[in-house]
Structure 1
Amino acid sequence: MSMINEKEFKKLASHKNEVCVSIFIPTQRAGKEVLEEKNKKHLHSEWVQIRKELKEDGINNSLIDKIGKPIESLLDDRDFWRHQSDGLAIFSSPEFFEKYTLPVNFETYHYISEEFYVKPLVPAMTGDGKFNILAIQLGDVSFYEATRFSITPLEIDDLTPSRLEDRVGYDYKEKALQFRTQGEGGEKTQFHGHGGSERDEKEEAKQFFRAVDQGLKNYLNKEKLPLVVYCQDYLFPIYKEANTYNNMIDKVVSGNPNDTDLMGIHQKALEVAEPFLNENRDEKIEKYRELSNTESTTSVVSDIIPAVYQGKVDTLFIENRAEIWGEYNEDKMKVKFHENHQNGNISLLNLAARKTIEMGGKVYLVEHEFMPEKESKMNALFRF
């Protein structure tokens, strides 16, 4: 599965061509909809509509065929449709094609212009919304960097022991540490051993977890991201005792990480991390409100876009699912607004979002009721 990263985002954002097609559709991971090929049919329906619009715009058939060939090949890829997440983003031009399977509930949307529509992907590039995942068992340790949109496995073999016996010694008998569930109905799982006490076995596990904690300490403290732990319930209290990292979330993703795939690990960890990922956004919104009616903020779109190009914007708030159509003359620093999407104009919100990221600012897609100044679809907090 292809998930977006910063390098790929910037490649998309900078791509220009006579015709660029961006497609977003919601998808289902499993169930009846997948068996009935609902995801595939949804894309097919969008592509039929896009072909019609391209023809109406006077685009010749050979160009349409170039854009459509990889999309139509994707429609025939049965294996691809069996492995979906929550949303699918497709970007196609005569010389370019890329697709991203993402844990994002996109609304169905397509955009035809001389640029790709990257606004729905922008929050993944702000840096906020990043977190780490530690998937740990006594016989296995895995570590990931994640955002709402992506998950990347990180190699940590040189930092941590990968198995308990690597820490407590190979004279440790793996069979001496077993687990059983006492009683019916999945009650608390407990340690028991052959010839050893429960306390000793827990101490060995704690010793192993302490080694993992210390091995990751320097890495974790570089960015101080939220840390989500994925392990079985009975192990989490032991890991909490061993843990010294202040930004570990005090709620476990319960279960065996080996029972799911990479996308499943991401989905479950995101559910735990989500409440902690909006903290920086909320701080910026509060800062905007504190500085409203000063020269440090504005909600005037015709002022915001030139300021973005000049690198003045620290944080840009864009109303989610909103749109502003028009043109921007960079030489004259002038914005022209249109009522509808038409030949020659662009999404000004898409333009402002991608340019803000390019200039090192941050962008947040915000629901209308949470916008700092609700009368505008775009608010900007300037750098001091």
Structure 2
Amino acid sequence: MEYKDIPTKADVERIAALRQPGCVSIYLPTGTTPAEADRARIELKNHLASAARALEELKVDRARIRAVHTEGERILDDRDFWRYQSRSLAVFLDGDMAQTFRLPNRLGTSCEISDRFYVKPLLRALTFPQSALILALAGNSVRLLHITPDRPAERIDVPGMPHDVASAVGLASVSGRSPDGRIQGSEGQKVRMLEYVQAIDRALRPLLANSSEPLILAAAEPLAGIFRGAVEYPRLVAETISGNPEDKTDEELAAAARGVLDRLYASKVGALREAYEARIAAGTALVDLSDIARAATFGAVESLVFDIDRRVPGWVDDETGVITFADEDVPGDYGVVDEILRRALGSKATVYALRAEDVPGGGAAAAAVRYPV
């Protein structure tokens, strides 16, 4: 079974704000099968051992090292926790706090030790998630699928879901019946479809209430229009996979849905680039890292776009925001872009993790600012 507890922006802001010696940030790939969870658990145990050695070398207080070890052991020993995993696991420990997130995107393995947490990989899941739900809706069947970037489509069993239009009749109270209770003609057929959609809506709501993933509808008319007119899901994607979904296999629907996601995110990235280019021309957005670092230090960054894969070695002065660039990464330091990100989050900026080719200005980052500094 897959389980996700994707961090909110408030979670990332809170973790990014913490700063003290001995912050341990661990990322590792996991999986939904018992064998995958066992491998991940062993890998986490190895990371915790190496983290303890690194903390000792950094001469972190022994009581804090013991507290980090204790919190890590609690995670390792939590059998229920390891039964329910997703694609990746993020673990943050500092002796005072222990936080885990089970993420739907596949991350590489790493163990970072510093005086602050390494949060940049978390932004992958927040910016443009690559997983989604598909509701394949037809008159004679309905199925809910879950898709991820690296797995076959998975069917989700939804308690209370009607099997077809006929099984849903009478499960919702709507107008459109004859005086003796019978539904007649084409109008009656639409009423039956509405009852069907209402029953599906009631079954889905408990599941979708806690979901952060897009919902993609696969349906033909008039069911598609009836569904969109009867339900209110903030993450329902505007584009529909057209045609009768009964004519498509789960994997064919998954392939179509991935195309929908690609177009959805391409549209969002395009709109973001246009907005930034307009602000760059107007002088209210910055592309030079030195300017961005200064703006982030003084709380002037309104939104930040950054290259998720790029690290720029160096340091940012705590008071002035002046950058000192370095030739290579230093253990325990995450670099210039990561520190800019941390400071931007501290001033409630909106942040977007993008690929290099999508960053406005072509650099490591771009920032829209609230006021000049």
Structure 1 pair 104–125 and aligned structure 2 pair: CA distance change class (3 A): closer
Q: Deviations over 1:186-223 (max 9, x none)?
A: xxxxxxxxx998968743332326768999xxxxxxxx
Residue pair 1:123, 1:363 contacting (<8 A) in 2 also: no
The amino acid across from 2:323 in the alignment is V
Return the offset for 1:16: 2.4
Correspondence list, 1:1-384, <5 A: 1=3, 2-30=5-33, 33-34=35-36, 37-122=38-123, 165-168=170-173, 202-208=189-195, 228-229=215-216, 237-243=221-227, 248-251=238-241, 273=261, 275-289=263-277, 295-342=283-330, 345-374=333-362, 376-383=363-370
- Please report how far the alpha carbon of residue 298 of structure 1 lies from its aligned counterpart in structure 2 after TM superposition: 3.4
Look up the SS of the partner of 1:18 in the other structure: strand
CA displacement at 1:341 relative to structure 2:
4.6
Contact 1:21/1:93 (8 A) holds in 2: yes
Question: Percent of counterpart pairs with the same letter?
Answer: 19
TM superposition score normalised by structure 2: 0.67
Report the Cα distance in structure 1 between the residues aligned to 2:102 and 2:173, rounded to whole angstroms.
41
Question: Aligned with 1:81: secondary structure?
Answer: helix
User: How far did 1:95 drift?
Assistant: 0.4
Query: What is the DSSP-based 3-state SS (H/G/I as helix, E as strand, rest coil) of the residue aligned with 1:167?
Result: coil
> Where does the alignment leave 5 or more consecutive residues of structure 1 unmatched?
149-162, 173-194, 216-224, 256-267
Contact map agreement 1:226 1:247 (CA 8 A) in 2: no
Q: What are structure 2's unaligned runs of at least 5 residues?
A: 150-167, 203-211, 230-235, 247-255
8 Å Cα contact 1:249/1:273 also seen in 2? no
- C-alpha deviation, 1:274, in angstroms: 5.2
| 1:377 maps to amino acid | A
Deviates more, 1:360-369 or 1:239-248: 239-248
Given the superposition, is the C-alpha separation of residues 19 and 214 from structure 1 closer, same or farther in structure 2, using an over 3 Å criterion?
closer
Distance in 1 separating the partners of 2:20 and 2:257? 38
- The match for 1:187 is none
How far apart are 1:25 and its partner, in Å?
Answer: 0.9
CA deviations on 1:300-348 (whole Å, 9 max, x unpaired) are 2221111123344343222222223433334333222334454785533
- What's the secondary structure of 1:24's corresponding residue? strand
For 2:306, give the aligned amino acid: I
Alpha-carbon offset, residue 129 of structure 1 = 6.5
Aligned residue type for 1:82: R
**Partner SS for 2:69:** helix
How high is the TM-score relative to the length of structure 1? 0.65
Q: CA deviation at 1:92?
A: 0.4
C-alpha distance in structure 1 between counterparts of 2:74 and 2:107, whole Å: 22
